């Protein structure tokens, strides 16, 4: 919505049929005291009567009653919108404690519900456990919402949404059993609600991520195809593009990087970076990953160069390190060893400073490969031993422990080779996307 609301939008506003976002825009516009729109509301032309004439006393009374109800609803929505901003700010500054204890705010109301869901989604990359805690509170708040105020079925929709977001939070936190139970509750509630299309497609999208995590790719693809078509029908290209980008990730995980690349190229132009700035980075990062997996290193280098202006400087330190790491892999494959060494060293140290032990150790093995190719065996041996200790400390799975031990022992006995080191690095990367990957060491 831009400029003045249309007559149709004002009519939807009066009857309470606008979406939350659109209602907020209309309310703000009217609160600014726009004379044209307020005059149109008062006259009722094209709203409650289709005839261009003065209203009768009976019509005027009916219209005034509708307007009064709408104004009350608008004020309530504005209060809830203000509460959302207040609570989100508190949560960002001090977490749940800042809301419940410090500010002593009651955990009730639609604004509180919305703020907790928004914040839960916002921390999904940084703190999965906090994501779960916040979503749990949103579920609790949803259980206390007023059915008389919202309508029984609309309330059930809100509860279904909260349970769906909690299920996704469990998935992000690797608690798949709880995620499955929460999804069951979400879909059971959805069947009792209004059947609202956006809620339905949101639940399908979240469930697809759960199915992908469980490597049930056929079902995940089916869910994402439904989500994509529904978003297209709703006219939301951004979310349609996001569904395709999620599908591309799982195509890559399934072992089809070429298909993933094609899907990503269709999805990326659809997304709106202003709506989800981090989604643009993820799309670019994944495209580069797919290109590297396909062995298209020169194309990957061009793509990284072309995307840099669009990404700008707001992607954050960790995301910058991820791109730098990929740049090192590309340079290494193109035999630009000096550039690769610089990129891997920067990535290793940066991940270590950020507390990302696994990424730091894997980047260290990439660096070790460069040093070994340069004939720096002693330096490589020390770096391999250091990386092995980091892997053991972060708790990798049994198959990975075996691979790392073989690598460490072989280098300690001074029998380490480029081929063996490459095979371990390839396995550790594969294990990140395929928990069933098996390690088969290669020796010269």
Mean pLDDT over 417-437 rounds to 89
Mean pLDDT over 63-85 rounds to 67
If you ran DSSP here, which 8-state letter would residue 55 be given?
P
Using one digit for the tens of pLDDT, what is the confidence trace for 113-135?
A: 989 999 999 888 788 899 999 99
Q: What is the pTM of this model?
A: 0.73
d(C-alpha 131, C-alpha 171), whole Å:
10
Token pair for residue 150? 């919202």
Mean pLDDT of the chain: 85
Least confident of 4-13, 89-98, 141-150, 249-258: 4-13
What are the angstrom distances between the C-alpha of 157 and each of 161, 174, 182, 184? 6, 26, 15, 14
d(C-alpha 440, C-alpha 438), whole Å:
7
If you ran DSSP here, which 8-state letter would residue 391 be given?
H
What are the angstrom distances between the C-alpha of 146 and each of 109, 137, 408? 8, 16, 62
What are the angstrom distances between the C-alpha of 68 and each of 4, 10, 117? 21, 14, 31
Mean pLDDT over 287-308 rounds to 94
What are the angstrom distances between the C-alpha of 127 and each of 132, 209, 315, 395? 9, 18, 17, 18
Least confident of 50-54, 76-80, 97-101, 369-373: 50-54
Token pair for residue 367? 């660096």
Least confident of 106-110, 212-216, 237-241: 106-110
Mean pLDDT over 183-202 rounds to 94
pLDDT of residue 150: 83
Q: Is the pLDDT of residue 28 over 60?
A: no
pLDDT bracket for residue 36 (50, 70, 90): low
Comparing 126 with 179, which gets the higher pLDDT?
Answer: 179
Q: Where are the alpha helices (DSSP H) in 98-151?
A: 110-122, 128-143, 147-150
Q: Which of 271, 252, 276, 272 is nearest to 262 (CA)?
A: 252
pLDDT bracket for residue 370 (50, 70, 90): very high
* Gyration radius of the chain over CA positions: 27
Contacts of residue 191, Cβ cutoff 8 Å, sequence gap at least 6: none
Q: Which of 189, 91, 89, 187 is nearest to 134 (CA)?
A: 91
Helix (H) or strand (E) holding 59, with range, is: helix 57-97
Sole residue written with tokens 């104004």: 71
Mean pLDDT over 59-71 rounds to 63
pLDDT bracket for residue 264 (50, 70, 90): very high
Token pair for residue 354? 């950020």
pLDDT of residue 45: 41
Q: Which of 231, 279, 287 is nearest to 258 (CA)?
A: 287
Helix (H) or strand (E) holding 12, with range, is: helix 7-14
Residue 49 phi/psi, 5-degree rounding, is: -140, 145
Comparing 282 with 67, which gets the higher pLDDT?
Answer: 282
Q: How many C-beta atoms surround the C-beta of residue 82 within 10 A?
A: 11
d(C-alpha 40, C-alpha 10), whole Å:
9
Could you write out the DSSP letters of every residue in 15-47? TT-S-HHHHHHHHHHHHTT-HHHHHHHHH-BTT
d(C-alpha 161, C-alpha 189), whole Å:
9
Mean pLDDT over 186-199 rounds to 94
Least confident of 103-112, 396-405, 434-443: 434-443
pLDDT of residue 328: 96
Extract the runs of DSSP E, i.e. beta strands, from 255-386.
none
Give the dihedral sign, CA 227/228/234/236.
positive
HSE, CB side, 13 Å, CA atoms: give it for residue 378: 0
Q: Is the pLDDT of residue 53 over 90?
A: no
Comparing 4 with 311, which gets the higher pLDDT?
Answer: 311
d(C-alpha 367, C-alpha 347), whole Å:
10
Label residues 284-295 b or e (16+ Cβ within 10 Å = b): bbbbbbbbbbee
pLDDT of residue 178: 96
pLDDT of residue 1: 45
Using one digit for the tens of pLDDT, what is the confidence trace for 306-332?
A: 988 877 666 778 889 999 999 999 999
pLDDT of residue 68: 66
Using one digit for the tens of pLDDT, what is the confidence trace for 157-170?
A: 999 999 999 999 99
pLDDT bracket for residue 51 (50, 70, 90): very low
Mean pLDDT over 285-312 rounds to 91
Sole residue written with tokens 């202006």: 309
């Amino acid at each position: 919505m831009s400029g003045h609301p249309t007559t149709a939008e004002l009519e939807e506003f009066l009857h309470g049929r606008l979406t939350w976002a659109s209602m907020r825009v209309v309310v703000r516009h009217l609160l600014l005291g726009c004379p044209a729109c307020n005059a149109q509301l008062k006259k009722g032309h094209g709203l409650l009567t289709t005839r261009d004439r003065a209203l009768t006393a009976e019509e005027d009374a009916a219209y005034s009653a509708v307007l009064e109800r709408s104004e009350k609803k608008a004020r309530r929505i504005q209060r809830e919108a203000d509460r959302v901003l207040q609570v989100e700010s508190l949560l960002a500054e001090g977490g749940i404690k800042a809301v419940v204890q410090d500010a002593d705010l009651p955990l009730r109301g639609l604004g509180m519900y919305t703020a907790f869901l928004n914040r839960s989604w916002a921390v999904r990359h940084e703190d999965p456990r906090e994501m779960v805690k916040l979503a749990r509170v949103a579920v609790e708040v949803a259980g206390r919402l007023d059915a008389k105020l919202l309508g029984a079925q609309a309330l059930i929709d809100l509860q279904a949404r909260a349970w769906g977001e909690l299920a996704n939070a469990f998935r992000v936190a690797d608690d798949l059993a709880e995620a499955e139970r929460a999804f069951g509750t979400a879909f059971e509630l959805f069947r009792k609600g209004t059947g609202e299309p956006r809620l339905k497609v949101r639940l399908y999208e979240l469930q697809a991520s759960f199915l992908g995590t469980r490597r049930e790719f056929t079902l995940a693809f089916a869910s994402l195809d439904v989500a994509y078509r529904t978003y297209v029908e709703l006219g939301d290209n951004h979310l349609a593009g996001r569904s395709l980008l999620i599908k591309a990730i799982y195509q890559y995980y399934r072992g089809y990087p070429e298909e993933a690349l094609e899907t990503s190229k269709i999805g990326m132009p659809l997304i709106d970076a202003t709506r989800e700035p981090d989604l643009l980075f993820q799309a670019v990062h994944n495209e580069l990953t797919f290109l590297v997996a396909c062995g298209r290193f020169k194309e990957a280098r061009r793509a990284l160069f072309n995307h840099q202006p669009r990404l700008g400087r707001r992607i954050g330190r960790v995301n910058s390190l991820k791109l730098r790491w990929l740049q090192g892999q590309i340079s290494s494959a193109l035999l630009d060893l000096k550039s690769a060494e610089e990129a891997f060293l920067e990535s290793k140290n940066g991940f270590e400073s950020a507390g990302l032990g696994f990424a730091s150790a894997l980047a260290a093995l990439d660096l070790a490969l460069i040093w070994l190719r340069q004939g720096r065996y002693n330096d490589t041996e020390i770096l391999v031993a250091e990386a092995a200790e980091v892997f053991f400390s972060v708790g990798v799975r049994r198959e990975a422990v075996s691979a790392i031990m073989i690598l460490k022992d072989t280098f300690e006995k001074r029998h380490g080779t480029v081929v063996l080191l490459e095979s371990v690095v390839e396995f550790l990367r594969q294990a990140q996307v395929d928990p069933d990957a098996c390690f088969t060491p290669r020796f010269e």
